[in-house]
Chains A and B, each alone.
Chain A
Amino acid sequence: MSETSILERLRPHVPWDRLTPRDDRGRATVLVPVDVLLDVLRAAREALGLDMCVDVTAWDRLPAEPRFEVLYLLGRAGTADRLTVKARAGGDPPTLPTATGIYPGAGFPEREVFDMYGVRFEGHPDLRRILMPDDWEGHPLRRDFALFEEPVEFKGHTPKVPSEIIPYFPPHSPSGSGGETPPVRG
């Protein structure tokens, strides 16, 4: 079955008018408001048979609000059926309900999103840092988290920020502009 028809199959089971479906280069994606997120995930699992939570990830939309877009990539074992459900989390701390009650496989990746972005998944059975050390401060994949080099004791060493090696060139930057400071600077 083709990926676009997945959205058509989902339509009867969810409050469709509140969703923003999109066919993005062959990927069926749907942006859902936070309060119906779990309903959509449940409908995907029960009505569409999408039994695998392939991936949960996020990205930082800074400076847009709500700031974090969390993506749930759902699939069905043995088929190429795919649906990407997106929800946006704002506020401080950004909060979303956990999907672990519907998809047990979301356990590790939700911990990763929490670790990297600080998005709290309410009801997660074990929401701890997973990759960073337990006493780490901040959430490193946030766009305003600065990349830095640890100071060393050698003389004549100037710490360098990797993003300055090749500067940032925004889209349609004029030829010879020499790059710019990124809009969001870590």
Chain B
Amino acid sequence: MPTTETLTINMGPQHPSTHGVLRLILELEGEIVRGCTPVMGYLHTGIEKEMETRTYHQNVTLVDRIEYLANYNEEMAYFQSLERLLGIEPPRRAKYIRVLMCEMARIASHLIYLGAGGMDLNVSSLFLYCIQDRERFLDLSEMVSGQRMMPGYFRAGGVAEDVPEEFIPAARDYLDYLAGRFDEYERLLKDNLIWRERLEGVAPLSREDAIALGATGPVLRGSGVVHDFRKLAPYGGYEEFEFDVAVETGGDAYARYRVRIEEMRQARRIAQQALDRLPDGPWITNDRKIALPPRAELARSMEAVIHQFKLVSEGMHPPAGESYVATESPRGEKGYFIVSDGSNKPVRVHVRAPSFYNLQTLPVMLKDRPLADVVVAIASIDIVLGDVDR
């Protein structure tokens, strides 16, 4: 006798394929998923509340920990909004360095998607290749900021320090090396029967659903919408770079994979242009109410000492008001909504976190699909739980 009874099972929060601490309550009818309820908050650390108790400068440390696989992009978003509030523009060299680091971070972030997503499907050699390539980016990151992750490298009005001399040839080497690697990954996966069968037609998301549920980034672009804020409303100097927006119409996990592979190529193209055309000049604004004076000045100028003291013990005072600037992180639209009352600490900082909104599409992707597709769907959204839970 057929039965229509459903079985409710729990997946996560401790489960290797949830890419963090995501919990799903799945309602199964046999092998078929009839309902899916994401439960999050296991990684909630109150970053938005904490940011209200710290100065704008101190908050860089917290910002880095939100989207922890793409820290440079996260800092980019925070400072775009803060600089709009302050009404300043960083010097051109700083913009180029920022774009360069952001695009390399985008590649590194997508490499984690590819590696970890592959590992979920038992393509474990791919994971090792991707981690190996990401490792070289982390070395570059260490060169410019002293940190592999959580760099804290960007500042209001520029970057903390100029890139060291040895960084330029090393970055060039890395980008040259990557060109061949992307082709290799594609060769490895394009004709791989398991990869194709497990991704094509799996976790479908229609264009309408993607838009209605607020999906952005590769999830939206994989459903056929040309939507990339680096092109739509260029910020932080992106208007000076040539690149194409990767878009696929498939709307399935395979389309999202194709979008990300193409995005890595485009990110490499942007990074290459930034390296080739890196302008000379200062790397941080010389507005002493916002950026620290250079170390050498402190020995000679009393005024510099006072500025330095005020900035360190008190911090900058953006004018009262609010600002929001949309930026394109590897996962979608990332923006900081900052409210200032003119004091040295923000009244409110809200992070528009792409993973949080993209996660809303998961129940749609999984409706009436086999249980085995859950893992593929989560990997194809490429969530970062630090970004979901903040």
Contacts and interface: CB of A to CB of B under 8 A. Distances in A.
A170 interface: yes
Given A105-B212, A168-B344, A170-B343, A80 B232 contact: yes
- Counting contact residues on chain A (CB < 8 A from B), the size range is 35 or more
B211 A52 contact: yes
B55 interface: yes
A34 interface: no
Interface string B39-67: 01100101011101111001000000000
B317 A171 contact: yes
Interface stretch (A10-18, A71-79, A88-96, A150-158): A71-79
Interface string A85-106: 0000000000000000001110
Contacts of A52: 211-212, 214
A53 interface: yes
Given A104-B212, A162-B54, A166-B313, A80 B48 contact: no
B324 A84 contact: yes
Interface string B319-363: 011111010000001010101011111011010100011011000
B288 to A, nearest CB: 14
A26 B81 CA distance: 12
Interface string B48-92: 111011110010000000000000000000000000110100000
A108 B359 contact: yes
A39 interface: no
Interface in B195-213: 211-213
B227 A171 contact: no
Interface string B199-242: 00000000000011110100010000111010011000000000
Contact of A166 (B220, B232, B321, B344): B344
Interface in A30-88: 51-55, 57, 59-60, 71, 73, 77-80, 82, 84
B263 interface: no
Contacts of A163: 53-54, 345
Contact of A179 (B212, B314, B341, B360): B314
A78 B321 contact: no
A138 to B, nearest CB: 12
Contacts of A141: 48-49, 348
B248 interface: no
Given A77-B227, A133-B41, A57 B337 contact: yes
B335 A55 contact: yes
Contacts of A161: 53
B134 interface: no
Nearest to B58: A166
Contact of A171 (B48, B54, B225, B342): B342
A108 B356 contact: yes
A131 B40 contact: yes
B352 A59 contact: no
Given A162-B53, A170-B342, A130 B40 contact: yes
A79 B46 contact: no
A166 B342 contact: no
A135 interface: no
A73 B211 CA distance: 14
A27 B324 contact: yes
Interface in A128-186: 129-133, 140-141, 143, 145, 147, 161-163, 165-166, 168-172, 175, 179, 182, 186
Nearest to A180: B343
B232 A79 contact: yes
B10 to A, nearest CB: 15
B89 to A, nearest CB: 13
B46 A162 contact: no
B41 A130 contact: yes
Given A105-B213, A131-B44, A54 B333 contact: yes
A80 B234 CA distance: 10
Interface string B124-137: 00000000000000
A78 B231 CA distance: 10
Contacts of A77: 211, 220, 225, 227
B268 interface: no
B321 A24 contact: yes
A179 B342 CA distance: 14
B254 to A, nearest CB: 21
A166 B55 contact: yes
B233 A80 contact: yes
A51 B229 CA distance: 16
Contacts of B227: 77-78
13 contacts: A25-B321, A52-B211, A78-B225, A105-B213, A105-B214, A107-B360, A108-B357, A130-B40, A143-B52, A166-B55, A168-B344, A169-B317, A170-B342
Interface of A: 24-27, 51-55, 57, 59-60, 71, 73, 77-80, 82, 84, 103-105, 107-109, 112, 116, 129-133, 140-141, 143, 145, 147, 161-163, 165-166, 168-172, 175, 179, 182, 186
Given A130-B41, A168-B345, 10 more contacts: A26-B84, A54-B333, A55-B357, A73-B352, A77-B211, A116-B48, A131-B389, A140-B49, A169-B315, A171-B342
Counting from the closest, the 4 A-B pairs by CB-CB distance are A171-B342, A105-B214, A59-B348, A163-B53
